[in-house]
Amino acid sequence: MKLKLVVMASTLAIVAGCSGGSAPPASEGAGGAAPAAGGGAQINGAGATFPNPIYSKWFAEYNKLHPGVRINYQPLGSGAGIRQLTSRTVFFGASDQPMKDEQLQAAPGRILHFPTVLGAVVPIYNLPEVSQQLKFTGPLLADIVLGKVKKWNDPAIAKLNAGVKLPTTDITFVHRSEGSGTTFIFADYLGKVSPDFKSTVGVDASLKWPVGVGGKGNEGVSGLVQQTPGSLGYVELVYALQNKIAVGSVQNSTAAFVVPSVASVTAAAAGAAANMPPDFRVSITNAPGADAYPIASFTWILLYDDPPDKAQAATMKEFMRWALSDGQKMAPELGYASLPPQVVAMEMKALEQLKVQ
């Protein structure tokens, strides 16, 4: 009888798993651990998936420089980041699209936007017979997405790509199945160059696409495109570069065909810096400038101007200063474009609004 109990107990213990940590008590705090005076706090943030690689690099590097500072960022998605920030379950949020006025009003405090890096959305395709880089225009992309241009050898495509032997296959458009900042940026651009797209589909993170299949995440779309001959999709530049998929060039506002790259994205931001609004909520798709890539965008970190936890606010302020200066140097090697100096200067001034006492 006793032996049975022992066997049962040990079995349950094995089954439930070994070890496990103890739980040192921690006190309440908006989205963070008990702040020790002057450091040792863990700050939690959530938001867009797109900048996750560069943010993880930044937070790791910053942790090396300041061992007491632990900033934990999780890529739940732009919308989720905004929601968590509004509910105050995280200290900061991150988003690929600026918050809308209604969202700002719904928040319990004033939220500041700080652009951190730039990214681009690029058209990718899978045509094994075609070795040259295809050229696209905004209106053409819109027509493909609306289902008006159905085949690869359509005259609209052939006109732009003289000398390329285009196959007769149908175009399979691959979009994002879930809502995302990437979709928003792509739709924002298409909405600017195609009134038809704007009225039929609209501009938002989640859209009702007239045609096509949905892939989950950037990697889902690139995976599907890589597997499906004759397909066309849109992904963040980083994914196209890393997976070595065929990327198309897009015509910008000066009628030049620009190949997406870190340099052409920075050029797009430089053009926008002149007209930057003070709250940094701006769209730079179809930006002016001969070298500008037209489907580019900022990504923002979102902070309350007057958070209850002042120690964490001070830490974040210092971190942002570092990210906007030293951090920018790490961006290009990871496939992100760094901010133009004029924008950085404006942001440093705007950081003063973050109250730390």
Partner 1 sequence: MLPRPRNARTDELIFRAGTGAFAILLIGIVLAIGAALVKESRLSIIHFGWSFWQTDVWDPVAGEFGARPFIWGTLYSSVLALLISTPIALGIAIFISELAPASMRRPLVFLTELLAAIPSIVYGLWGIFVLVPAVRQLQIATPEWLRSVPLFSGPPLGVGMLSAALILAIMVIPFSSSVAREVLKAVPQSQREGAYALGATRWEAIRMALFYARTGIVGAIMLGFGRALGETMAVTMVIGNNPQISASLYAPQYTMAAVLANEFAEATNDLYLHALVEIGMVLFIMTLIINVISRMFIWSMGRQTRPRRVPVHAPARSAA
Partner 2 sequence: MTRNQWRRAVSHAIIVLCGLSVIIALIPLALVLFYVVAQGITSLNLSFFTEMPKPVGEVGGGMANAMVGSIIVTLLGAMFAIPVGIMSGVYAAEYTGTRMASAVRFAADTLNGVPSIVIGVFIYSIAVLPVRRFSALAGGLALGVMMIPLIMRTTEELLLLVPATLREGALALGATRARAVFTVVVPAALPGILTGILLALARIAGETAPLLFTALNNRFFSTDVRQPISTLTVQVFIYATAPYQDWHRQAWAGALVLVTMVLVCSLLARVATARMEKLQRGA
State the residues that interact with partner 1 by CB under 8 A. 76-80, 82-83, 100, 102-103, 170, 172, 177-180, 201-208, 212-216, 220, 223-224, 227-228
Sign of torsion over alpha carbons 180, 181, 184, 186:
negative
Min CB(233)–partner 2 separation in Å: 14
CA atoms within 13 A on the CB side of 184: 22
Cα 93 from Cα 272, distance rounded (Å): 23
Contact pick of 2, 21, 105, 255 for partner 2 (by CB under 8 A): 21
Q: Which residues pair with 95 in a beta bridge?
A: 300
Residues 161-220 that bind partner 2 (CB under 8 A): 216-220
In order, the DSSP letters of 268-319 are: HHHHHHTT--TT-----TT-SSTT--SSEEEEEEEEESS-S-HHHHHHHHHH
Which stretch in 8-16, 113-121, 188-196, 200-208 sits in contact with partner 2 by CB under 8 A?
Answer: 8-16
Start-to-end C-alpha separation, the chain = 65
Distance CA 349, CA 203 (A): 32
Choose from partner 2, partner 1, none: what does 205 bind? Cβ within 5-8 Å by kind: partner 1
Binding-site partner at residue 293 among partner 1, partner 2, none, CB < 5 to 8 Å by type: none
Q: Which stretch binds partner 2 (CB under 8 A): 48-56, 122-130, 182-190, 253-261?
A: 48-56
Is 325 near partner 2 (CB under 8 A)? no
Q: Which is nearer to partner 2, 23 or 37 (CB)?
A: 23
> Residue count at the site for partner 2 (CB under 8 A)?
65
Which C-beta is closer to partner 1: that of 72 or that of 177? 177
Residue 16 engages partner 2 in binding (rule: CB under 8 A): yes
Question: Measured from the CB of residue 80, what is the shortest distance to partner 1 in angstroms?
Answer: 4
> Residue 294 and residue 135: Cα distance in Å, rounded?
13
With CB under 5 to 8 Å by kind, the binding choice for 11 among partner 2, partner 1, none is partner 2
Q: Enumerate residues 6+ apart whose C-beta is below 8 A from 96.
A: 48, 50, 51, 78, 119, 180, 181, 182, 184, 185, 297, 299, 300
Q: Does 334 bind partner 2 (CB under 8 A)?
A: yes
3-state secondary structure 313-352: HHHHHHHHHHHHHCHHHHCHHHCCECCCHHHHHHHHHHHH
Query: Distance between CA 100 and CA 355 in Å, rounded?
Result: 23
Q: Which residue has the tokens 């066309």?
A: 232
Closest distance between partner 1 and the C-beta of residue 272, in Å? Answer: 24
Residues 63-122 that bind partner 2 (CB under 8 A): 63, 70, 72-76, 80, 87-90
Give me the least distance between CB of 231 and partner 1, in Å please: 9
CB proximity list for 309: less than 8 A, separation 6 or greater: 29, 30, 32, 35, 41, 91
Displacement of CA 51 from its chain's centroid (Å) = 5
Task: Name the binder of 207 from partner 1, partner 2, none, CB < 5-8 A by kind.
Answer: partner 1
Cβ nearer to partner 2, comparing 222 with 299: 222
Residue ranges in 22-133 assigned as alpha helix (H)? 52-65, 78-87, 101-106
Kindly state the smallest distance separating residue 325's Cβ from partner 1, in Å. Answer: 31
Q: Where does this chain bind partner 2 (CB under 8 A)? A: 1, 3-4, 7-8, 10-12, 14-26, 28-33, 42, 44, 46, 49, 52-53, 56-57, 59-61, 63, 70, 72-76, 80, 87-90, 216-220, 222, 236, 238-239, 241-243, 333-335
